[in-house]
Amino acid sequence: MSRRTVALIFGGRSTEHEISVISARAVAAQIDPGKFSVTPVYIDRHGRWQGTRCSSEILALDLAALLRSDDPGSAAARLDSIAVENASEPFDFRAFQEDADVAFLVLHGSFGEDGRIQGCLETFGIPYTGCGVTASALAMDKELTKLCASAAGIEVADSLTILSNEYFRDPVGACREVEAGFCWPVFVKPASLGSSVGIAKVHHAAELRPALDEACLLDMKVLVEAAISGREIEVAVLGNDEPIASVPGEIVPGSEFYDFEDKYIRNAAKMYIPARLSETESEAVRNAALVVFRALGCRGLSRIDFFVENSTSRIVLNEVNTIPGFTDVSMYPMLMAATGIDFPELVTRLLELALENASDSNNR
């Protein structure tokens, strides 16, 4: 049987651009060369699809080392420089459509996890890893995720949704509404960004407006959410019609909460796999993850994050990541490894699930 061609799509226009590049490098190293050949497809931060030479050069770059260096800004500069140097090589969309048997998506955040690239690939007729258009769009929006999960019986934190255009018309009124409806602290979150970009923990009224200013500049919709005092628990889910849930993992942040720098630069957080939960709590969290996965219509993979409240052991949904990180410090592959599926097997399974999903869709 001939090898299938995998289009490894990474980069993109989101604020998680660099993390996508690092994830793609890790995935490429684990793709079984006996079953698959890899064609890297790099989308630069302006949304331009770059040719093979540029994509291969970006994929070979050890961007993680640059991010953790004394000058993390050099990572973005190096990516932009490589794209400029190879600007004369156009991307061949016809060849891409004809040659790619399946796409492995490592596009985090906007234009990657939100259903847009999924719709593009369905138009091209190319199977892809992960969730479809609808589930991707729902899971990317934290407000809609909470609504779907709550309807399925999963607990969510109390929250208030603020539209950015309305906020900038009356920021004082928005702040008053938050102060009237919540006790401190609260979290301010852009509704549709990942990797903790733009998230702030607000301890008192003086911190609220700066946090809302920043979040509302990043997204059209922002959530103000009651803080849950509890353990941060993550579960990896894998599968299509019969998904499996991994052993839960636990994050102990190195700073006040698990922010972007804690995840990818300082690497100061502690991880416990399995999580420090009782057997009953662990089973309850795994079951909750499967309920959320099915409620949103997810396929392929997702990482589903919860809080287990300290005072009550209540399980509260935090968020759903349909294209979780695949870096050397990412929970999804580590959780799957702890469940008995190592990184190379995980990558193969994800590609097989993508092909299976496409076959099922064609037979409907």
- Residues 220-237: pLDDT tens digits? 999 999 999 999 999 999
The predicted-structure confidence for 138-173, as pLDDT tens digits, reads as follows 999 999 999 999 999 999 999 999 999 999 999 999
> At the topology level of CATH, where does 4-128 sit?
Rossmann fold (3.40.50)
139-156+229-363, which class in CATH? Answer: alpha beta
Tell whether the model's pLDDT for residue 350 goes beyond 70: yes
Residues of the chain by 3-state class (helix, strand, coil), percent to 5? 45, 20, 35
d(CA 38, CA 343): 16
Q: What is the pTM of this model?
A: 0.91
The dihedral formed by the CA atoms of 16, 21, 24 and 28, expressed in degrees to the nearest 10: -170
d(CA 174, CA 176): 5
- In the structure, what pLDDT confidence band is assigned to residue 193 with cuts at 50, 70 and 90? confident
d(CA 217, CA 213): 6
3-class DSSP state for residue 63? helix
Give the residue, 73 or 337, on which the prediction is more confident: 337
Per domain, the residue ranges of the chain are 4-128, 139-156+229-363, 159-226
Reference 57, options 84, 95, 32, 30; nearest CA is: 84
Options 3.20.20.140, 3.40.50.300, 3.30.1490.20, 3.40.50.150; CATH for 159-226 is 3.30.1490.20
Reference 18, options 319, 351, 325, 320; nearest CA is: 325
pLDDT of residue 71: 83
Joined tokens for residue 57: 């050069």
pLDDT of residue 70: 77
The predicted-structure confidence for 300-349, as pLDDT tens digits, reads as follows 999 999 999 999 999 999 999 999 999 878 999 999 999 999 999 999 99
3-class DSSP state for residue 221? strand
Query: Which of 75-84, 155-164, 259-268 comes out lowest in average pLDDT?
Result: 259-268
- In the structure, what pLDDT confidence band is assigned to residue 192 with cuts at 50, 70 and 90? confident
Share of the chain above pLDDT 90, in %: 83
Tell whether the model's pLDDT for residue 119 goes beyond 90: yes
* Angle in degrees, CA 36, 40, 46, rounded to 5: 155
d(CA 222, CA 189): 6
